[in-house]
Amino acid sequence: MTYVVAGRIIARRLFLHETSTYYGMRSRIYSLVIFPFHWNLVLWPVAALQALIAAYVIWLVVRSVVTRQTILWYLVLCAALSLLTSVSWFAVLILPDILGPVFYLCVYLIVFARETLSRVERALLMVIMWWAVASHGSHLVVAVGLCALLILLIIFRWRIMDHRWRAVVTVIVILIVTAATQIGLNAFLTGTPSLNGDWPPVLTARIIVDGPGREYLQAHCPDAKFVLCEDAHNLPDTADDFLWSDNGIWGKASDEKQAQLQREQMRFVIASVRAYPLEELKQSAANFENQLITIGLDDLGSNGWVLSELASEMPGQKSIYQQSRQISDTLPLNFFSSVQEWTVIASLIVIAAFIPYVWRRRTARILGIGVIIISTVIANALVTGVLSGVETRYQSRVIWLFPLLACVLLLDWRERRSAGRPYAE
């Protein structure tokens, strides 16, 4: 709902020159793009847009591998992913979560399957990539890491990266343009150039909950001269309590104190890590490990705050939402979480079984999509688990890429077997 609310305010500033003191704390570009699709009236068009984008990118991925009965196998794949994984749930969630994995698949298409795309398709993918990266800070961080990995593969002359440096440069240019767009929009709206806008001090909350931040404040306040010293002996136990609780440090802080917390964030985080480096390293490693294996759909249940926001921002949708299975907590979330877990396990077994064949034959596209998916699923857990917190939603939004990879391997194997060719490109 924060994305929905901000869209109208930003549009009025851009097109009607109506100023405001608040333009949302999350991605303003995501808010702006979805606004024409919901118009503060109904959210189904946003769900349709995201589902269409995900389906289109998956279509291009399947087409890059399968040349025989492509439509049939694409529909079979989409049905399987929709029933057995989280992709269908996140495609219709009014959050930018689905756009992260969509971006990673776009990188595969641009770098490793460029020859299967027309000029129009490449241009459309670039627009999708721009919106996907701009829609969430974690997408940008993972994308930068992915580009660094591809550059290393080029430097070390891995064969599948031959003649692909121009495509990698294209991805890097998209990231630069995206960052410039975000900085420019935030500067126009608030007068302050920034990538994250008015994003709350998530890192501060994280390092306090991890322990080093708490220990630093208790040991160095009041001499440390941080505004957090006011709360050094009343620190919350969870990041959610720090950031989102009405009685939390961020929630009850005045505008002036919130601004001070934002300004002091990096200095406080660096000071805490320098004082307790091993403690933070151990906790970050544990958070990463937990996030990597924490998947599920339990975050998609009812939310009273959403209902209250709907009442004020989209009154016509309140009664509809109240009749939904989501608000009554009767969605089969536990069942489908279990189905996805077993699907992921089966997919990992299939992927492991194909490793010797893929590695021996060095199929460029298959190796490429494997590198992209495996590295980004791991990087997503690292970025979200260490910098934000361990939540089922964070890893569930990308874990469906493993079943997709398993299906791509099977489809490629079937394609080559039916054509009478060895398992090689």
- For residue 127, the tally of other CB atoms under 10 A from its CB is 10
* 38-94 pLDDT, tens digit each: 999 999 999 999 999 999 999 999 999 998 899 999 999 999 999 999 999 999 999
| Contacts (Cβ under 8 Å, ≥6 apart) of 115 | none
**Mean pLDDT, range 297-302, rounded to an integer:** 81
Please report whether residue 15 resides in a domain. Answer: yes
Please report whether residue 225 resides in a domain. Answer: no
Six token digits for residue 340: 């996805």
pLDDT at 425: 42
Is the pLDDT assigned to residue 421 strictly greater than 80?
no
pLDDT at 233: 85
* Burial class of residue 134, CB neighbours in 10 A (0-12, 13-18, 19+): buried
Please report whether residue 99 resides in a domain. Answer: yes
pTM above 0.85, yes or no: yes
Question: 314: helix, coil or strand?
Answer: coil
Please report whether residue 280 resides in a domain. Answer: no
Distance of CA 338 to the CA centre of its chain: 22
DSSP category for residue 168: H
Number of structural domains in the chain:
1
Least confident span in 186-190, 208-212, 216-220, 310-314: 310-314
Is the pLDDT assigned to residue 195 strictly greater than 70?
yes
pLDDT at 419: 67
Is the pLDDT assigned to residue 407 strictly greater than 70?
yes
Please report whether residue 179 resides in a domain. Answer: yes
Percentage of the chain surpassing pLDDT 70? 98
* 13-47 pLDDT, tens digit each: 999 999 998 888 889 999 999 999 999 999 999 99
Report d(CA 4, CA 197) in Å as an integer.
16
pLDDT at 420: 63
In terms of residue numbers, what domain contains 407?
2-197+298-418
Is the pLDDT assigned to residue 304 strictly greater than 90?
no
Please report whether residue 268 resides in a domain. Answer: no
